[in-house]
Amino acid sequence: MTTTRASEVPASGPTETRDSRVWVLDDPRAGTAAQAIGIAERLGLPFRRIPLAWNWKAHIAGLVPGGSLIGIPAAARQALAAEAARPDSAPDLVLSAGRRSAAVALWLKSQFGCRIVHCMSPGLGGLLRSDVFDLLVTPTHDNPTPARNVLPIMGAPHRVTPLTLKQAAAAWEDRLSHLPRPRVALLVGGPPGGINMPPVRAMMVGKQVARLAGAQGGTVLATTSRRTGGEATEALSAGLARVMHLLFRWGEPGPNPYLGFLATADAIVVTADSVSMISEACATGAPVFYVVPEQAGRRQQRFIDRFEAAGLIRPLEDSIAPWPRRVLDESARVADEIRQRFGLPGTTM
């Protein structure tokens, strides 16, 4: 099992070392893995990322109450088990996110007695043994059942921190300094669980944001995601044509300006389908607005309702003016809870 580096996002905590006893189960899905990694980076302790890979049996993994390594290819399964069995390597604390990773975390606990902190739903098998988890980090919009080992949080943990924003602002400000303010960051997702946002919807969003930014002589800084789709991206570009703008298309070459856009924006607009992007936007001090609520699924709509009721976001209407709101930093809050519950050293990074 190899030790990997902390990331595409600038590290906000110590890098991993070979003898770390904190393990992070690194799901191949970046948005899922980022929840566990983000918490680990805020712990202020060395940690190791354990990359996971899955085969066609992966959908069964979350059904086994006691945890299992089902779905991990044989060579990777043997390497993980051997690494965990080494006296100088076995984990004391495992951070995981997502149903597939929950099964691995439960297996590690059954074999080596480590503590496990899990984000998101642990799947059917995990729910049947929910008392085994030392801490379940569960978003309030999933309506978690109160329990001693359940920590409700707003939105999703992530890797956007005060430090990463400061670093991104320093890295991107010169490249964006010629663009007039206000700068409006536009973060575009796509249908939950699918791809290809309807092009007409993308154009409508582009036109609305362009009108508001243009009325103040400002700039739009737009990015799309893997769920947006090519046709919708081109429609968005057409909608933004009337105002000065930058558009980063998902997958295009060159550095991704996502963090730079977040760090330097005067206002942020996000499509209502993305829990992660709205959570990350709320880690900044800029006002955050949501658009196209009709694109949100039932779960995302509950999330929008909770965030709006808490005064963290507002629907985009006829103004991008700021209002007083708190900066959301749930990853740090989870890290503080872990240290307090388990008596770990360190301070939030």
Q: Residue 91: is the preceding peptide bond cis (ω within 30°)?
A: no
Same fold, 22-158+330-342 and 162-315: yes
Residue 57's pLDDT is 85
DSSP result, 140-174: GGG-PPP-TTEEEESS---S--HHHHHHHHHHHHH
* Cβ atoms of residues 306 and 154 within 8 Å: yes
Q: What ranges do the domains of the chain cover?
A: 22-158+330-342, 162-315
Residue 65's pLDDT is 75
> Of 218, 343, 328, 213, which Cα lies nearest the Cα of 279?
328
214's CB contacts (< 8 A; 6+ apart) are 242, 243
Residue 127 has phi, psi (to 5 degrees) of: -65, -35
> What does the alpha-carbon distance between residue 270 and residue 297 come to, in Å, rounded to a whole number?
15
Q: How far is CA 262 from CA 32, 131, 234, 257, 269, in A?
A: 20, 38, 22, 9, 10
CA quadruple 86, 89, 92, 96: dihedral positive or negative? Answer: negative
Q: Is 147 left (phi over 0), alpha (psi -120 to 50) or beta?
A: beta
Classified by CATH at the fold level, domain 22-158+330-342 comes out as Rossmann fold (3.40.50)
Could you tell me the pTM of the whole model?
A: 0.89
Residue 6's pLDDT is 32
Q: String of b and e for 166-192 (b: at least 16 CB within 10 Å)?
A: ebbbebbeeebeeeeebbbbbbbbbbb
> Of 286, 256, 258, 293, which Cα lies nearest the Cα of 272?
293
Neighbours of 159 (CB within 10 A): 27
Residue 194's pLDDT is 79
203-239 per-position pLDDT tens digit: 999 999 999 999 999 999 999 999 999 999 999 999 9
Residue 349's pLDDT is 62
> What does the alpha-carbon distance between residue 172 and residue 82 come to, in Å, rounded to a whole number?
43
51-90 per-position pLDDT tens digit: 999 888 887 877 777 788 888 999 888 988 888 888 888 8
User: What's the one-letter identity of residue 55?
Assistant: N
Residue 1's pLDDT is 33
Q: Using the 8-state DSSP alphabet, how is residue 95 labeled?
A: E
Q: Is 248 left (phi over 0), alpha (psi -120 to 50) or beta?
A: beta
Angle at 105 between CA 102 and CA 106, to 5 degrees: 85
> What does the alpha-carbon distance between residue 285 and residue 322 come to, in Å, rounded to a whole number?
9
Q: What is the pLDDT along the chain (349 residues), one digit of tens a residue?
A: 333 323 333 333 333 444 458 999 999 988 899 999 999 999 999 999 999 998 888 878 777 777 888 889 998 889 888 888 888 888 999 999 998 899 999 999 999 999 999 999 887 776 767 889 999 999 999 999 999 999 999 999 999 999 999 999 999 999 999 999 999 999 999 988 778 899 999 999 999 999 999 999 999 999 999 999 999 999 999 999 999 999 999 999 989 999 999 999 999 999 999 999 999 999 999 999 999 999 999 999 999 999 999 999 999 999 999 999 999 999 999 999 999 999 888 666 6
> Of 177, 349, 164, which Cα lies nearest the Cα of 258?
164
Tokens of 37: 């990694």
The CATH-assigned architecture of domain 162-315 is: 3-Layer(aba) Sandwich (3.40)
Report how far Cα 55 is from the mean position of its chain's Cα atoms.
24
Neighbours of 78 (CB within 10 A): 13
Q: Where are the alpha helices (DSSP H) in the chain?
A: 30-43, 58-61, 74-85, 99-112, 123-128, 162-176, 199-215, 230-239, 258-264, 275-281, 298-309, 330-342
